Amino acid sequence: RTFRSYLPRSHRTYSCVHCRAHLARHEELISKSFQGSHGRAYLFNSVVNVGCGPAEQRLLLTGLHSVADIFCQSCKTTLGWKY
């Protein structure tokens, strides 16, 4: 069963581009200075409404890291990864 969290309307939020499910409050944004394989990437302290795939070793621009893909819990769109 999928549970969706809704962030307070009084806060600026980041949401899924496809289904608009809330993902993070603006206050959770740590950095916009990351580059992903498909463009600019953001680093957040915490997020909601995401699922997580298995961890794997990947060679990123900064070296070998253990990462896991994350996806929108509502529509299953791949959003990025977590360290």
**Averaged pLDDT for residues 48-71:** 92
Phi, psi (5° rounding) for residue 70?
Answer: -120, 150
Taking alpha carbons only, the member of 49, 53, 45, 65 closest to residue 4 is: 49
> Across the chain, what does the average pLDDT equal?
87
Residue 51 has pLDDT above 80, yes or no: yes
Phi, psi (5° rounding) for residue 26?
Answer: -55, -35
Domain boundaries, the chain: 13-82
Q: Encode pLDDT of 23-50 as tens digits.
A: 999 999 999 988 777 778 899 999 999 9
**CA 21/CA 72 separation, integer angstroms:** 8
Handedness of CA 15, 81, 52, 29 (dihedral sign): negative
Share of the chain above pLDDT 90, in %: 63
Residue 1 has pLDDT above 50, yes or no: no
